[in-house]
């Protein structure tokens, strides 16, 4: 293979981003809007620190432009360029994947343009001795999709939306297209397995979260399930420990003894399973609230309040020895 063809086949992200894309021409032909052109002029070829500030200020607007270009423009060099911009954006800060799920993009199918690019990419095999950059583009698309899915898996409040968005079906479709690419198929199988595991975990936490937010607790199996607590205890950190704060509120305000008893028990479980559970619960001023329930007229409440206090004083090292 000639040297220039080999270089083309192994284009890096940096090499792709050295291209000059005729954004003004695309606006003239109405493939991008005037607003899109303005955003691209502000963003393209700028320093990382400047781009970071633009994304912090108006990230969803830039995602909208990137997605619209991938949807409406089919020139390979331009598609590769925008994929490289997205890859660069997510590599610098993976948390930016959340921009694809901003409320302002609720009516946008942010996945479809990436998926539509894949069949064209796989068909881009060498023809008449000319090398293809399909591997580079495939890698970019996979990186973007993997980044989005990994971020979703880390967000407890997105468990059910992962199903609503059809991500399991997306992976199935990609597997059907990738049957001749062993490496890609293996990666998709791993992604599918991880997706199933995370959906299971997150759905269980969402059910628990819904119960807590309903402010009415009962002894459903999830409260005493060690696997649930081991797998989901870090999800309690969401939104500045929102669920823990609700549990503490229930100790003071719930008129239902069963709810108070379960809330005490769940606090004790958090103390046992979270590495910093004892410190976190102490910082949230839980001790005073729980101790008030030690004299509660309901025996179930006092029993679980005592368990919580014992675990709070003993810490996780000895808490597992206490009877539940």
3-state secondary structure of 321: coil
Selected residue with higher pLDDT from 114 and 91:
91
DSSP secondary structure string, 91-109?
Answer: HH-GGGGGGGG-GGGTTS-
Mean pLDDT of 66-95: 90
Cβ atoms within 10 Å, residue 244: 22
User: pTM of the entire structure?
Assistant: 0.43
- Cβ–Cβ < 8 Å for 246, 213: yes
Mean pLDDT of 16-40: 92
pLDDT of residue 55: 94
pLDDT of residue 151: 53
- Cβ–Cβ < 8 Å for 270, 234: no
Alpha-carbon gap, residue 233 to 226, rounded angstroms: 10
pLDDT of residue 122: 42
Residue 130, strand partner residues: 127
Nearest to 231 by CA among 168, 287, 159, 284: 159
Alpha-carbon gap, residue 67 to 148, rounded angstroms: 14
Alpha-carbon gap, residue 56 to 219, rounded angstroms: 43
Q: Is the pLDDT of residue 90 over 80?
A: yes
Q: Is the pLDDT of residue 163 over 70?
A: no
Alpha-carbon gap, residue 150 to 145, rounded angstroms: 9
Q: Is the pLDDT of residue 241 over 50?
A: yes
3-state secondary structure of 127: strand
Alpha-carbon gap, residue 308 to 322, rounded angstroms: 10
**Eight-class DSSP state of 233:** G
Selected residue with higher pLDDT from 101 and 247:
247
Selected residue with higher pLDDT from 168 and 189:
189
3-state secondary structure of 130: strand
Nearest to 126 by CA among 8, 3, 14: 8
pLDDT digits (tens, 9 = 90+) for 34-69: 999 999 999 999 999 999 999 999 999 999 999 999
Alpha-carbon gap, residue 66 to 151, rounded angstroms: 19
Alpha-carbon gap, residue 262 to 300, rounded angstroms: 9
Q: Is the pLDDT of residue 220 over 90?
A: no
**Eight-class DSSP state of 324:** -
CB-neighbour burial class of residue 167 (10 A; exposed 0-12, middle 13-18, buried 19+)? buried
3-state secondary structure of 241: helix
Selected residue with higher pLDDT from 281 and 146:
281
Mean pLDDT of 262-273: 94
Range in 140-149, 181-190, 260-269 with the lowest mean pLDDT: 140-149
Contacts with 201 (C-beta within 8 Å, 6 or more apart), sequence order: 159, 231, 232
pLDDT of residue 211: 92
Mean pLDDT of 179-184: 65
């Amino acid at each position: 293979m000639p040297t220039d063809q080999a270089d083309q086949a192994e284009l890096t992200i940096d090499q792709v981003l050295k291209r000059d894309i005729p954004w003004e021409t695309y606006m003239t032909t109405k493939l991008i809007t005037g607003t899109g052109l303005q955003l691209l002029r502000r963003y393209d070829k700028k320093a990382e620190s400047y781009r970071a500030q633009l994304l912090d200020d108006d990230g969803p607007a830039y995602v909208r432009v990137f997605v619209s270009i991938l949807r409406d423009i089919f020139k390979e060099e331009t598609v590769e360029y925008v994929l490289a911009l997205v890859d660069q954006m997510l590599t610098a800060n993976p948390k930016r994947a959340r921009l694809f799920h901003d409320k302002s993009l609720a009516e946008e199918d942010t996945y479809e343009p990436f998926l539509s690019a894949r069949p064209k990419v796989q068909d881009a095999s060498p023809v008449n001795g000319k090398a293809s950059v399909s591997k580079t583009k495939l890698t970019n698309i996979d990186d973007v999709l993997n980044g989005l899915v990994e971020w979703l898996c880390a967000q407890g409040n997105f468990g059910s939306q992962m199903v609503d968005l059809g991500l399991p079906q997306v992976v199935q479709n990609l597997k059907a297209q990738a049957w001749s690419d062993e490496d890609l198929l293996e990666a998709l199988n791993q992604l599918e397995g991880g997706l199933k595991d995370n959906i299971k975990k997150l759905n269980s936490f969402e059910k628990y979260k819904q119960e807590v937010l309903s402010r009415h607790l009962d002894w459903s199996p999830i409260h005493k399930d060690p696997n649930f607590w081991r797998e989901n205890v870090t999800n309690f950190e969401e939104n500045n420990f929102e669920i823990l704060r609700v549990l503490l509120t229930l100790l003071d305000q719930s008129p239902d003894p069963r709810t108070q008893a379960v809330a005490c028990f769940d606090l004790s479980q958090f103390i046992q399973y979270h590495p910093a559970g004892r410190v976190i619960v102490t910082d949230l001023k839980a001790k005073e609230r729980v101790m008030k329930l030690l004299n509660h007229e309901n025996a179930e409440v006092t029993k679980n309040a005592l368990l919580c206090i014992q675990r709070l004083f003993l810490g996780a090292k000895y808490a597992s020895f206490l009877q539940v």
